[in-house]
Structure 1
Amino acid sequence: MADSRRWVWWGVALGFALFVYFLHPILTPFLVAIVLAYMFDPVVDRLERAGLSRTWGVVAVFALFTIILMTLLLVLVPLLAKQLLKLYQLAPQVLDWLQHTAMPWVQAKLGLSDSFWKFDKIKAAITEHMGQATDIVGVVLSQATASSLALIGFLANLVLIPVVAFYLLRDWNIMMAKIHGLLPRARAEQIVSLAKECHDVLGAFVRGQLLVMLALGVIYSAGLMFVGLELGLLIGLMAGVAAIVPYMGFIVGIGAALIAGLFQFGGDLYPMLGIVAVFMVGQALEGTVLTPLLVGDKIGMHPVAVIFAILAGGELFGFTGVLLALPVAAVIMVLVRHVQDLYKDSQVYKGSEDPQL
Structure 2
Amino acid sequence: DGWVPRDNVQTVRAIARDINTATAGFVRGQGTLCLVLGAMYATGLTLTGLNFGILIGLFAGLISFIPYVGSLTGLVLAVGVAFVQFWPDWTMIVAVAVVFFIGQFIEGNILQPRLVGKSVGLHPVWLMFSLFAFGALFGFVGLLIAVPASAAVAVLVRFAIARYLESPLYKGRGAAPVPQLPADRGGGHRTQPRR
Alignment TM-score > 0.5, same fold: yes
Displacement of 1:242 in angstroms is 2.5
**1:293–1:337 Cα change, 3 Å:** closer
The answer to whether the aligner puts 1:194 opposite 2:15 as a matched pair is yes
Q: Partner residue of 1:293?
A: 114
Displacement of 1:193 in angstroms is 2.9
Displacement of 1:245 in angstroms is 2.2
Structure 2 letter corresponding to 1:190 = T
Q: Partner residue of 1:259?
A: 80
Where do 4+ consecutive residues of structure 1 move more than 4 Å? 335-339
Displacement of 1:295 in angstroms is 0.9
| C-alpha separation in 2, matches of 1:219 and 1:333 | 27
SS of aligned partner of 2:71: helix
1:36-70 per-residue CA deviation (whole Å, 9 max, x = no partner) reads xxxxxxxxxxxxxxxxxxxxxxxxxxxxxxxxxxx
Q: Which has the higher contact order (CA 8 A, sep 6+)?
A: 2
TM-score (structure 1 length as normaliser): 0.35
- Give the alignment's Cα RMSD to 1 decimal: 3.6
8 Å Cα contact 1:220/1:239 also seen in 2: yes
Match of 2:152 among 320, 323, 334: 334
Structure 1 letter corresponding to 2:109 = T
SS of aligned partner of 2:113: helix
Alignment of 1:45-194 (within 5 A): 186-194=7-15
TM-score (structure 2 length as normaliser): 0.61
Match of 1:282 among 103, 108, 113: 103
Whose radius of gyration is greater, 1 or 2? Answer: 2
| C-alpha separation in 1, matches of 2:98 and 2:5 | 56
Structure 2 letter corresponding to 1:226 = L
| C-alpha separation in 2, matches of 1:213 and 1:333 | 19
8 Å Cα contact 1:245/1:306 also seen in 2: no
| C-alpha separation in 2, matches of 1:332 and 1:216 | 23
Structure 1: any 5+ residue segments left out of the alignment? 10-182, 311-324, 346-357
**1:332–1:279 Cα change, 3 Å:** closer
Displacement of 1:199 in angstroms is 2.7
| C-alpha separation in 1, matches of 2:155 and 2:19 | 11
Match of 1:208 among 22, 29, 32: 29
| C-alpha separation in 2, matches of 1:276 and 1:333 | 33
| C-alpha separation in 2, matches of 1:332 and 1:288 | 19
The answer to whether the aligner puts 1:243 opposite 2:64 as a matched pair is yes
**1:265–1:235 Cα change, 3 Å:** same
Identity of aligned residues (%): 30
Structure 2 letter corresponding to 1:330 = P
SS of aligned partner of 1:243: helix
Q: Partner residue of 2:140?
A: 307
Equivalenced residue count is 148
Match of 1:233 among 54, 71, 75: 54
| C-alpha separation in 1, matches of 2:82 and 2:100 | 13
| C-alpha separation in 2, matches of 1:331 and 1:289 | 22
| C-alpha separation in 2, matches of 1:335 and 1:288 | 23
8 Å Cα contact 2:19/2:155 also seen in 1: no
Structure 2: any 5+ residue segments left out of the alignment? 165-195
Q: Which has the higher helix share?
A: 1
The answer to whether the aligner puts 1:223 opposite 2:44 as a matched pair is yes
